[in-house]
Chain A
Amino acid sequence: MKLALGPLLYYWPRQEVLDFYAGIAASPVDAVYLGETVCSRRHELRLDDWLELGRQLAAAGKEVILASQSLIESESDLKTLRQIAGQEEFRVEANDMGAVRLLAEAGVTNWIAGPTLNIFNPRTLELLIASGASRWVVAPEIPGAELAAIRAGLVQTIETEVYAYGRLPLAFSARCFTARHFNLQKDACEFRCLAIRDGLPLLTREGEPFLTLNGVQTQSARVHNLLADLPGLAGRAELLRISPQGAHSLEIVRLFRTALEGRLTPAAALDASRDYMPEAPCNGFWHGRPGVEQYVAA
């Protein structure tokens, strides 16, 4: 089982991003997804910077993938998308059907179908394989049993990557909820995200952490964590995705590696990860239940 580091979903100052990936270069992840997938206004690193970072990570032995933006709105979004789809140095994760069209048109045959493409059945996945996808990232809301059924229904083969750790990216909007919190318009947001390392916590009126506001993206408050579910992942995935968080991402990567190598039981790995999570764990989606639940088999 390989470990993949998903794209950084937050907006950090440039040097902090570079420092973070310097740590990742020396970590036991196999694949690293780079690029801005959330908000086109975030520009601490431009595409050229991501490419340069990609070269450094590739030199450190990592498989590097460039991820495309999930919500495409403007002509300038499309311009960036064309640059990503058109470069030949790294594989590309397609996060909307526009990206799929551009990659298929260019005859690229090793791209990755991202988690926002709404792939819920074998027939849709087969179509994407025929268009050149050679790996897909399962939407986090798809249960393990459903994933097994999709894989069983495939005629062609494709690598499967499961979102195994991190706050759940639940929704995208045209509206920026971080700007809204500060009573700013999106076009004049003053880049407030830069000062918020892990997103803005949203609580219910009884103080229960519920969601996380990350600009135009809404995430869960809880951390989707499949460390205790690793036995059920065997045979259903070839890669596990870990989503970067404000602190302790490296510790989480090491815990997954240790557990996969059998040097920690799944239950002990989950326990050990509690020190490194910004919020309580959940795994309901994997078990076909509300995503917010932490399900433990009886």
Chain B
Amino acid sequence: MAASSPIELVCPAGSLPALKTAIDNGADTVYLGFKDATNARNFTGLNFDPPRLREGLAYAHARGRKVLLALNTYPQAGNWPSWTAAVDRAAEFGVDAVILADPGLMDYAAKRHPGLRLHLSVQGSATSYEAINYYHERFGIRRAVLPRVLSLAQVESVIARTPVEIEVFGFGGLCVMVEGRCALSAYATGESPNCQGACSPGRWVRWEETPQGMETRLNGILIDRFAEGERTGYPTLCKGRFEVKGETYYAIEEPASLNTLELLPELARVGIRAIKIEGRQRSPAYVAQVTRVWRAAIDAVMAAPERFQVAPAWMAELNKVSEGQSHTLGAYHRPWK
């Protein structure tokens, strides 16, 4: 196996073409899910059935890259066997790690498949080393993905006090809520990232041309209204415009992407083990573009961190695929909070 760089670039693969594209463009690792509710991007037309997973694994492993399988929703009493079967299949297929959120499922995986590497999903909402070390001691997790809520200084403090590798989100759609602690979608539609693996799911969305403009609704609830010429956006419910005390604005979050490219030297310095690119629901073209830029940036920072500069062309490429065509440093940059 080729040695991966000290910061691992973890890219999304919503499909086999996206997987190959990610690897061809320099991803060290790809992450993916099965075609069902066992993962947090349970969208129509996405994800892997067993034959495609085998093919994807063969493609990645032949090139010395890794494949992580996200089983990061919470199994319920009635459907528990589907999740344990998914863990069994992951072990049988030889994925490089499974990404889990549910402690019960981690317990199952650790006992049944002691050789299977476990990562703690961002959906596990572990924001402190005390929480991360709980999963490490109980289930032997080797890596944790941090929710997008900590400042860089807080991330550094976590890394200093845990033996678990830390992975952070570097780029992509930004959950403004703590992952795993958000029932907004469940409140509006009955379907949530935690249990059904979907936020603001498409089957509840309605686009309506009205005299006031294009309206987007989620289960009948008006999420936004766009004037003529305004760029419309998918009605993810935390990214709509609402009225608070007579003022109408993006009361929770603007539709913007997280982009931490300029923090890369700092992320390397504090000891981040892996950087995750969001977007399993995005196209292979998105995956190619984002992977290429991040590969170049990580290589540059590894070669000479003190001389690292964000190339304007990188930013331009990334802005082209950003949600809302703008970007933010999110919680890493404290004033955002």
Contacts and interface: CB of A to CB of B under 8 A. Distances in A.
Contacts of B242: 202-205, 210-211
Contact of B221 (A116, A118, A210, A289): A210
A132 B134 CA distance: 14
A171 B128 contact: no
B322 interface: no
A74 B178 CA distance: 15
B229 interface: no
Nearest to B80: A121
B334 A121 contact: no
A171 to B, nearest CB: 4
A200 interface: yes
A interface secondary structure, majority: mixed
B237 to A, nearest CB: 9
B86 interface: no
B221 A173 contact: no
B145 to A, nearest CB: 14
Among A104, A150, A218, A284, residue most surrounded by chain B Cβ atoms (within 10 Å): A218
Contact of A172 (B137, B138, B178): B178
Interface string A162-186: 0000001011111111001100011
Contact of A71 (B124, B181, B243, B248): B181
Nearest to B181: A172
Given A96-B131, A181-B245, A123 B80 contact: yes
Contacts of A124: 102-105
A71 B225 contact: no
A171 B243 contact: no
Nearest to A147: B77
- Size range of the chain B interface in the assembly: 35 or more
B183 A204 contact: no
B interface secondary structure, majority: mixed
B77 A96 contact: no
A220 B133 contact: no
Contacts of B74: 118, 120-121
Nearest to B149: A174
A73 B150 contact: yes
A50 B59 CA distance: 59
Contacts of A176: 337
A210 B184 CA distance: 10
B76 A96 contact: no
Contact of A120 (B102, B128, B148, B251): B102
B253 A175 contact: yes
Given A73-B150, A218-B252, A171 B244 contact: no
Interface in A189-207: 200-207
A60 interface: no
A171 B188 contact: no
Interface stretch (B63-71, B190-198, B261-269, B276-284): B190-198
A98 B128 contact: yes
B130 interface: yes
Given A171-B183, A205-B224, A75 B157 contact: yes
Among A96, A127, A288, residue most surrounded by chain B Cβ atoms (within 10 Å): A96
Contact of A284 (B76, B102, B127, B190): B190
Contacts of B238: 171
B125 A292 contact: no
A256 interface: no
List the 10 closest A-B pairs by CB distance, nearest first: A123-B104, A98-B130, A174-B149, A124-B104, A149-B77, A101-B134, A97-B131, A291-B187, A120-B74, A98-B131
10 contacts: A96-B126, A100-B134, A121-B76, A150-B76, A170-B182, A186-B337, A201-B245, A205-B224, A205-B241, A206-B222
